[in-house]
Amino acid sequence: IRHQAALFPLYPVLGILGACTNAFTAVPVCNSSIYCSGDLLHRVQLARIFPDSKTFVDLKLVYTENETLADYAKLIHDTDQNPTLDQMKKFVDAHFTEGNELEVWEPPDFDPDPPILDRIVDPKLRQFAKNVIGLWAKQKPF
């Protein structure tokens, strides 16, 4: 009984922790049915179309994800669930391309010479800050 009395103050804390666990849900880092999980990714990786497992997930979609998955479902259906390596390569070549999905974007309020630079007294530091700010305009997607 003495041990139960010692644990009694912990019950509310444990209840709150349990409620908090249920209240928070993990946000998936990647929810793509092509690049993160799914049969297409699984088959491409097992087929070893590329020399490493990263190349495929770095490719850019030619069509939307839904269109690509619909075409993949048709390929799987048409091949009785067993596409050949050549069929998988042709599918990947037709639906993916090298490239970057990042778009070049410049904020509408971008100022390469913002007034705050005038508050930097040291001319070398002011020029350094201006050079760093100027890098933004020169950025190209990876």
Give the model's pLDDT for residue 31: 84
Q: CA torsion sign, 49 to 54 to 59 to 61?
A: positive
> Do 44 and 86 lie in a common domain?
yes
The phi, psi pair for 55, rounded to 5°, reads: -55, -50
> Do 93 and 107 lie in a common domain?
no
- What residues contact 133, with CB distance under 8 A and at least 6 apart? 112, 113, 114, 117
What is the tens place of the pLDDT at every residue in 104-139? Answer: 777 888 888 899 999 999 999 999 999 998 887 766
Give the side-chain half-sphere CA count within 13 A for 94.
12
**Residue 115 domain boundaries:** 103-142
What is the tens place of the pLDDT at every residue in 61-110? Answer: 999 999 999 999 999 999 999 999 999 999 999 999 998 766 777 788 88
> Do 76 and 125 lie in a common domain?
no
> Do 89 and 51 lie in a common domain?
yes
Residue 30 lies in a domain: no
